[in-house]
């Protein structure tokens, strides 16, 4: 039922959005969502927000890592590239040094071997000349006699030498020295020429022809050749060690290097110079074969003589090629080259950057110590730098690839994160929905059960076993239902009892009201007066009553009374009081027949005594009782502790005849005591005379003590004031209605606390009769 | 303005116990008033109900006084009323209570 009422809420209520502070919270509170939806939203929002924060942190973290790693990677790449560049350069330079040292060492071995052969020849000749007894004279073919086989030893004494030296004097020496022939011929396989030039001008030699044909001799050779004029002779003479010529082209057009040193007579003086021709190709081979290596890009290698001349070179032209002019590189115009050449000739080892032929080179050099040469290898710096540059570019490219890979990884991760976010959000959605349902299901069971109970099914039991507050709630509802059931069982009996009592009270009220003369006009046909009475009971059956009855043709008794208290006791007491008073009055009314007036004080006294009988509860009644003689207007009255009535004196006739009333309270000299409590209470009869048009107004304290909401009494002053202002009515009924209306206005919304009983009698007197009615004052 | 119904008890002159009541003595407060009055009357020799702070006395209130007067009389004790004024005094007069109870204007007038 409740939910239906909620659904019937006006749209205005539903869409009302709070405007105060904390609007969202109020909105949440005011949003008429079911717990299921609220729980669902809370779960969903909390989960989603947590996940969102996590995702943002992850993405931001990833982004920071990406930035950091990317930048770091880039820096690292640059550093690595720089390092690689330096490293490549250093490596190449280092390798150049190592290669040049190794080449120098190999060259050294090649030339040392040849030098050792020369030393051997020299020593052998020295021994031959020192120990002639050990050798037989040997006669070798003479060049002048014609060609000799290739590689065979021969002797040449040119014509000019014969003429100048008188060579025959040395024949024995020539024959002795000719024993070197075996040595020469043993070396023929390795050296193209072995020779010994005597200080006396003869030559012993063995030549190997290029094609293996016999050695032929030129005319010059036979006629003018003098070994002592040869370069190799002048080079070798005076030496302790073999000396090397520069590379030269011999008479046969073959490039050659001669190695020469002296040989000696037994006395130590020089007997001549021996030498061999050394094929420079061996050195060329050594220096030109660069080890296969990725890094070494030797552009050229060369051998520098102690005098700074290029002896061997892989360069065919340029400053590093073999120079016909025997130029000294130490004097080169290129300072860097000249400086490096100077270090090389001094036997230095190292690497330098030089400029040659307008290009920059690295020059690595190492000495060939046994011959005083220096081997140099040059590599174009551009190629080295290019290599290093390539390495750097390679690393840079790798770095870029790394960055791109990282970027695409990040994007992939971000896409996956978003997909995951959506996926997890969907999962959260369904999980939240499910969890909400699980949580709310017991509640729905409770709601369903409570609805059933609300529709009257008190035997319904809620079966919720969740072990939480909802189970507790369900238990409470079960207990409440049990108690409700028991209560309702009790209630129905109590209600039945109450209903019975209420019915009886209603009955009592009806009986009470029925006891009052209630049919108006009561005295139809009576023109002497107009009488009207009302009693508005308060909630409960009350104790007020009014009464009027004719005692005989001319006397009407009026009573207004108020029993103390309320309810059935008061009603019963009222019945007794009314009955007792009426009985006593009627009993006494016989006095009229005798022409006198009954003793109303005694009447009231008798009623009082009767009421005092067995009145242990001290119930009492206030009574205003009076009897009007409608012929004379004399009104005899007794007051038993009751409010004094009002009398409206007419001026200019009755209101219905256009006159007006002036109201005042009836003067009561002896108020008398209330009836029912004091047996000995005495009462006094008082009289007043009504004139035509005068009106009596009797009431109970329900009128003057009617209270408004503030607790203010209507009051006697106000009652009189109102009657003066508005009591000028044509009928008694109209007067009562006006007063009732004014009292109601005063009471307002307050509850009527007491019975309001009023009685009004307008006296007109006998219109025709023996005794005229009293005239107006 | 309605006064709250409050009761108090104090020693007065000449051995009187002054029972002070404020507010209204009507059908709603009569039972309380009688219970308290009965207690005071039973333990005191002379009890004076001070009505100077009472706005209104209904017939139920009159009955309370009447019953307490009878209770005092039956037990050889005294019960009276002081300080009644205005409507209260008029009601007491109209109902004849003034003749029953030797009413005094103030507490100091108590004999």
pLDDT tens for A178-236 read 999 999 999 888 888 999 999 999 999 998 888 888 988 888 989 999 999 988 899 89
At B101 the pLDDT is 83
How far apart are alpha carbons A290 and A379 in whole angstroms? 12
Q: Which chain B residues are within 8 Å of A671, Cβ to Cβ?
A: 93-96
Query: Does residue B90 surpass a pLDDT of 70?
Result: yes
Largest CA distance in chain B: 39
Among residues A407, A408, A410, A468, the alpha carbon closest in space to that of A440 is found at: A468
Residue B94 structural domain: 6-109
At A737 the pLDDT is 92
Confidence of residue A295 (pLDDT cuts 50, 70, 90): very low
Is A569 within 8 Å of A617 (Cβ atoms)? yes
Confirm whether B69 is domain-assigned: yes
Among residues A650, A653, A610, A644, the alpha carbon closest in space to that of A624 is found at: A644
Q: What is the share, in percent, of chain B residues with pLDDT greater than 70?
A: 97
Among residues B97, B26, B105, the alpha carbon closest in space to that of B68 is found at: B97
Chain B contact probe: residue of A711, A712, A715, A755 with most B CBs at under 10 A: A711
Residue A707 is given by DSSP the state B
How far apart are alpha carbons A729 and A762 in whole angstroms? 10
Judged by CB atoms closer than 8 Å, whether chains meet at A671 and B59 is answered as no
- Among A300-304, A602-606, A610-614, which range has the highest average pLDDT? A602-606
Query: Does residue B88 surpass a pLDDT of 60?
Result: yes
Distance from CA of A641 to the nearest CA of B (A): 3
Q: What is the share, in percent, of chain A residues with pLDDT greater than 90?
A: 21
Closest partner residue to A713 among B56, B59, B62, by Cβ? B56
Distance from CA of A762 to the nearest CA of B (A): 25
Query: Does residue A463 surpass a pLDDT of 50?
Result: yes
Closest partner residue to B59 among A564, A640, A673, by Cβ? A564
SS3 assignment for A411-458: HHHHHHHHHHHHHHHHHHHHHHHHHHHHHHHHHHHHHHHHHHHHCCCC
How far apart are alpha carbons A188 and A212 in whole angstroms? 11
Give the other-Cβ count within 10 Å of A455's Cβ: 10
Lowest mean pLDDT among A343-352, A475-484, A501-510: A501-510
Judged by CB atoms closer than 8 Å, whether chains meet at A678 and B100 is answered as yes
Among residues B26, B33, B73, B70, the alpha carbon closest in space to that of B49 is found at: B33
Query: Does residue A647 surpass a pLDDT of 90?
Result: yes
At A7 the pLDDT is 45
Phi first, then psi: what are they for A700, rounded to 5°? -105, 175
Taking CA–CA distances from A643, the nearest residue in chain B reads B94
Lowest mean pLDDT among A80-84, A203-207, A287-291: A287-291
Beta strands A695-699 and A373-380: pairing type? Answer: unpaired
Query: Does residue A519 surpass a pLDDT of 70?
Result: no
Query: Does residue A21 surpass a pLDDT of 60?
Result: no
Beta strands A695-699 and A756-763: pairing type? Answer: antiparallel
At A293 the pLDDT is 45
Query: Does residue A22 surpass a pLDDT of 60?
Result: no
Confidence of residue A523 (pLDDT cuts 50, 70, 90): confident
Instruction: Output the CA–CA distances (angstroms, integers) from residue A775 to A292, A628, A647, A690, B101, in the order listed.
Output: 168, 16, 16, 9, 44
Query: Does residue A43 surpass a pLDDT of 60?
Result: yes
Is A406 within 8 Å of A14 (Cβ atoms)? no
Confirm whether B1 is domain-assigned: no
At A648 the pLDDT is 92
Distance from CA of B5 to the nearest CA of A (A): 13
Instruction: Output the CA–CA distances (angstroms, integers) from residue A599 to A588, A624, A638, in the order listed.
Output: 7, 15, 10
Report the pLDDT averaged over residues A411-426: 84
Is A708 within 8 Å of A775 (Cβ atoms)? no
Q: Higher-confidence residue: A398 or A636? A: A636
Q: Which residues of A touch B (CB under 8 A)?
A: 562-566, 618-620, 622, 639-644, 671-674, 677-678, 681, 701, 705, 710-711, 713, 715-716, 753-754
At A165 the pLDDT is 81
Q: What is the share, in percent, of chain B residues with pLDDT greater than 90?
A: 21
Closest partner residue to A705 among B58, B67, B93, by Cβ? B58
Using omega within 30 degrees of 0 as the cis cutoff, is the peptide bond preceding A303 cis? Answer: no
How far apart are alpha carbons A409 and A429 in whole angstroms? 29
Judged by CB atoms closer than 8 Å, whether chains meet at B63 and A619 is answered as yes
Q: Higher-confidence residue: A676 or A10? A: A676
Beta strands B46-57 and B16-25: pairing type? Answer: parallel
At A13 the pLDDT is 43
DSSP secondary structure of A334-374: SHHHHHHHHHHHTT--EEEEEEETTEEEEEEEEEEGGGTEE
Residue B104 is given by DSSP the state B
Query: Does residue A307 surpass a pLDDT of 80?
Result: yes
How far apart are alpha carbons A1 and A29 in whole angstroms? 22
Closest partner residue to A673 among B58, B60, B96, by Cβ? B96
Is A562 within 8 Å of A639 (Cβ atoms)? no
Query: Does residue A541 surpass a pLDDT of 80?
Result: no
Give the other-Cβ count within 10 Å of A387's Cβ: 20
Question: At a CB cut-off of 8 Å and minimum separation 6, what does A410 contact?
Answer: A62, A63, A66
Give the three-class secondary structure for A735: helix
Report the pLDDT averaged over residues B62-80: 89
Residue A322 is given by DSSP the state P
Q: Which domains does chain A have, with CATH numbers?
A: 35-427 (no CATH), 516-763 (3.60.40.10)
Provide the ipTM. 0.81
Among residues A580, A61, A681, A624, the alpha carbon closest in space to that of B66 is found at: A681
Report the pLDDT averaged over residues A571-580: 87
Arithmetic mean of pLDDT over chain A: 83
How far apart are alpha carbons A333 and A516 in whole angstroms? 160
Chain A contact probe: residue of B94, B97, B98 with most A CBs at under 10 A: B94
Closest partner residue to A713 among B59, B70, B87, by Cβ? B87
User: Is the Cβ of B55 closer than 8 Å to some Cβ of chain A?
Assistant: yes
Query: Does residue B94 surpass a pLDDT of 50?
Result: yes
Query: Does residue A251 surpass a pLDDT of 70?
Result: no
- Among A23-27, A713-717, A770-774, which range has the highest average pLDDT? A713-717
Query: Does residue A512 surpass a pLDDT of 80?
Result: no
Query: Does residue A8 surpass a pLDDT of 80?
Result: no
Report the pLDDT averaged over residues A671-692: 88
Distance from CA of B91 to the nearest CA of A (A): 8
User: Is the Cβ of B70 closer than 8 Å to some Cβ of chain A?
Assistant: yes
Question: In this structure, what CATH number is given to the domain that contains residue B59?
Answer: 3.30.750.24
Taking CA–CA distances from B65, the nearest residue in chain A reads A618
Domains held by chain B: number = 1
At A250 the pLDDT is 72
At B15 the pLDDT is 86
Judged by CB atoms closer than 8 Å, whether chains meet at A641 and B95 is answered as yes
Q: Higher-confidence residue: A618 or A550? A: A550
Distance from CA of A672 to the nearest CA of B (A): 6
How far apart are alpha carbons A69 and A53 in whole angstroms? 23
For the CA atoms of A38, A40, A44, A47, what is the dihedral angle to 10 degrees? 100
Confidence of residue A659 (pLDDT cuts 50, 70, 90): confident
Taking CA–CA distances from B100, the nearest residue in chain A reads A673
- Among A77-86, A297-306, A423-432, which range has the highest average pLDDT? A423-432
Judged by CB atoms closer than 8 Å, whether chains meet at A622 and B93 is answered as no
Report the pLDDT averaged over residues A367-387: 82
Judged by CB atoms closer than 8 Å, whether chains meet at A620 and B63 is answered as yes
Query: Does residue A604 surpass a pLDDT of 90?
Result: yes
Chain B contact probe: residue of A541, A641, A681 with most B CBs at under 10 A: A641
The DSSP element (H or E) to which A45 belongs, if any, is helix A35-130
Is A143 within 8 Å of A154 (Cβ atoms)? yes
Q: Higher-confidence residue: B74 or A9? A: B74
At A698 the pLDDT is 95
Closest partner residue to B95 among A565, A622, A713, by Cβ? A622
Closest partner residue to B2 among A563, A620, A710, by Cβ? A710
Judged by CB atoms closer than 8 Å, whether chains meet at B94 and A643 is answered as yes
Judged by CB atoms closer than 8 Å, whether chains meet at A620 and B93 is answered as no
Give the three-class secondary structure for A651: strand
Judged by CB atoms closer than 8 Å, whether chains meet at B95 and A619 is answered as no
Lowest mean pLDDT among A86-95, A421-430, A665-674: A86-95
Closest partner residue to A673 among B2, B91, B99, by Cβ? B99
At A770 the pLDDT is 41
DSSP secondary structure of A586-624: HHHTHHHHTTS---HHHHHHHHHHHHHTT-TT---EEEE
Confirm whether B33 is domain-assigned: yes
Phi first, then psi: what are they for A246, rounded to 5°? -75, 170
Instruction: Output the CA–CA distances (angstroms, integers) from residue A591 to A88, A558, A626, A687, B44, in the order listed.
Output: 160, 18, 15, 17, 51
Q: Which chain A residues are within 8 Å of B58, Cβ to Cβ?
A: 701, 705, 754
Give the three-class secondary structure for A477: helix
| Phi-psi sector, A347: left (phi>0), alpha (psi -120 to 50), beta | left
Among residues B58, B3, B22, B87, the alpha carbon closest in space to that of A711 is found at: B3
| Phi-psi sector, B64: left (phi>0), alpha (psi -120 to 50), beta | alpha
- Among A66-70, A96-100, A172-176, A278-282, which range has the highest average pLDDT? A172-176
Exposed e or buried b for every residue in A86-108, given b needs 16+ CB within 10 A? eebbebbbebbbebbbebbebbb
Is A696 within 8 Å of A645 (Cβ atoms)? yes
Give the other-Cβ count within 10 Å of A363's Cβ: 25
Q: Which chain B residues are within 8 Å of A715, Cβ to Cβ?
A: 87
At A5 the pLDDT is 44
Lowest mean pLDDT among A184-198, A371-385, A447-461, A759-773: A759-773
Question: At a CB cut-off of 8 Å and minimum separation 6, what does A482 contact?
Answer: none
* Tens of pLDDT, residues A101-112: 888 888 888 888
Question: At a CB cut-off of 8 Å and minimum separation 6, what does A457 contact?
Answer: none
User: Is the Cβ of B93 closer than 8 Å to some Cβ of chain A?
Assistant: yes
Give the three-class secondary structure for A760: strand
Report the pLDDT averaged over residues A476-502: 83
At B95 the pLDDT is 82
Report the pLDDT averaged over residues B89-109: 84
* Tens of pLDDT, residues A745-754: 998 888 877 8
At A607 the pLDDT is 92
* Tens of pLDDT, residues A120-161: 999 999 999 999 888 888 999 998 888 999 989 999 999 888
Class of residue A755 by CB neighbours under 10 A (exposed 0-12, middle 13-18, buried 19+):
buried
Phi first, then psi: what are they for A53, rounded to 5°? -60, -45
Is A647 within 8 Å of A663 (Cβ atoms)? yes
Report the pLDDT averaged over residues A68-84: 76
């Amino acid at each position: 039922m409740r939910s239906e009422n909620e659904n019937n809420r006006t749209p205005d209520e539903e869409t009302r959005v709070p405007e105060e502070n904390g609007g969202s919270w109020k909105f949440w509170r005011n949003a008429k969502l079911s717990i299921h939806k609220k729980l669902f939203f809370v779960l969903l929002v909390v989960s989603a927000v947590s996940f969102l924060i996590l995702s943002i942190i992850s993405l931001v973290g990833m982004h920071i890592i990406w930035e950091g790693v990317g930048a770091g990677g880039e820096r690292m790449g640059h550093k690595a590239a720089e390092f690689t560049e330096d490293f490549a350069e250093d490596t190449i330079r280092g390798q150049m040094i190592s290669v040049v040292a190794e080449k120098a060492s190999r060259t050294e071995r090649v030339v040392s071997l040849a030098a050792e052969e020369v030393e051997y020849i020299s020593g052998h000749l020295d021994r031959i000349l020192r120990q002639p007894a050990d050798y037989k004279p040997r006669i070798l073919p003479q060049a002048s006699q014609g060609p000799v086989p290739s590689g065979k030893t021969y002797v040449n004494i040119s014509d000019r030498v014969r003429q100048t030296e008188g060579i025959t004097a040395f024949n024995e020496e020539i024959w002795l020295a000719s024993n070197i022939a075996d040595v020469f011929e043993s070396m023929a396989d390795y050296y193209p020429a072995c020779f010994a030039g005597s200080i006396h001008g003869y030559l012993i030699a063995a030549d190997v022809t290029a094609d293996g044909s016999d050695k032929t001799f030129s005319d010059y050779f036979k006629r003018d050749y003098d070994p002592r004029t040869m370069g190799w002779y002048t080079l070798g003479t005076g030496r302790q060690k073999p000396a090397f010529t520069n590379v030269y082209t011999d008479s046969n057009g073959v490039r050659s290097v001669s190695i020469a040193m002296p040989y000696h007579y037994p006395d130590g003086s020089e007997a001549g110079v021996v030498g061999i021709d050394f094929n420079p190709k061996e050195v060329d081979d050594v220096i030109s074969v660069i080890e296969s290596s990725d890094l070494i890009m030797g552009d050229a290698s060369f051998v520098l003589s102690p005098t700074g001349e290029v002896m061997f070179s892989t360069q065919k032209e340029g400053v590093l090629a073999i120079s016909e002019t025997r130029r000294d590189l130490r004097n080169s115009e290129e300072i860097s080259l000249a400086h490096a050449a100077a270090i090389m000739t001094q036997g230095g080892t190292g690497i330098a950057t030089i400029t040659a032929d307008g290009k920059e080179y690295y020059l690595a050099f190492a000495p060939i110590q046994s011959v005083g040469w220096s081997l140099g290898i040059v590599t174009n710096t551009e190629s080295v730098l290019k290599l290093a540059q390539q390495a750097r570019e390679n690393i840079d490219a790798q770095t870029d690839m790394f960055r791109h890979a990282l970027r695409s990884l990040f994007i992939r991760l971000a896409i996956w994160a978003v997909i995951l976010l959506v996926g997890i959000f969907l999962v959260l959605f369904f999980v939240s929905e499910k969890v909400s349902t699980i949580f709310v299901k017991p509640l729905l069971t409770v709601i369903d059960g409570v609805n059933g109970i609300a529709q009257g099914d008190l035997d319904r039991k809620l079966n919720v076993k969740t072990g939480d507050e909802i189970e507790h709630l369900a238990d409470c509802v079960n207990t409440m239902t049990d108690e409700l059931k028991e209560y309702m069982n009790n209630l129905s009996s109590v209600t039945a009892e109450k209903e019975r009592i209420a019915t009886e009270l209603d009955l009592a009220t009806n009986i009470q009201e029925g006891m009052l003369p209630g049919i108006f006009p009561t005295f139809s046909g009576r023109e002497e007066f107009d009488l009207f009475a009302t009693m508005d009971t308060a909630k409960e059956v009350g104790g007020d009553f009014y009464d009027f009855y004719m005692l005989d043709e001319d006397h009407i008794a009026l009573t207004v009374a108020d029993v103390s208290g309320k309810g059935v006791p008061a009603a019963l007491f009222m019945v007794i009081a009314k009955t007792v008073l009426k009985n006593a009055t009627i009993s006494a009314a016989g006095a009229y027949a005798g022409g006198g007036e009954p003793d109303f004080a005694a009447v009231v006294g008798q009623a009082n005594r009767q009421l005092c009988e067995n009145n242990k509860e001290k119930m009492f009644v206030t009574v205003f009782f009076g009897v009007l003689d409608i012929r004379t207007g004399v009104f005899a009255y007794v007051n038993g502790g009751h409010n004094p009535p009002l009398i409206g004196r007419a001026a200019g006739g009755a209101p219905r005849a256009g006159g007006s009333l002036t109201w005042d309270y009836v003067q009561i000299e002896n108020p008398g005591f209330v009836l029912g409590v004091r047996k000995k209470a005495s009462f006094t009869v008082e009289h007043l005379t009504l004139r035509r048009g005068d009106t009596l107004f009797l009431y109970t304290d329900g009128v003057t003590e009617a209270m408004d909401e503030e607790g203010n009494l209507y009051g006697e002053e106000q009652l009189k004031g109102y009657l003066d202002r508005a009591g000028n009515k044509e009928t008694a009924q109209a007067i009562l209605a006006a007063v009732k209306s004014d009292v109601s206005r005063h009471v307002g919304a307050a509850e009527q606390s007491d019975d309001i009983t009023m009685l009004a009698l307008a006296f007109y007197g006998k219109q025709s009769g023996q005794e005229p009615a009293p005239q107006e004052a | 303005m309605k006064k709250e119904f409050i009761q108090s008890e104090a020693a007065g002159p000449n051995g009187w116990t002054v029972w002070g009541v404020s507010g209204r003595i009507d059908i709603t407060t009569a039972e309380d008033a009688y219970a308290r009055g009965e207690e005071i009357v039973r333990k005191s020799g002379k009890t004076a109900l001070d009505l100077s702070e009472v706005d209104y006395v209904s017939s139920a209130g009159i009955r309370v006084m009447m019953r307490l007067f009878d209770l005092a009389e039956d037990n050889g004790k005294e019960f009276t009323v002081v300080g009644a004024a205005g409507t209260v005094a008029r009601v007491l007069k109209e109902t004849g209570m003034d003749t029953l109870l030797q009413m005094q204007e103030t507490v100091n007038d108590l004999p």
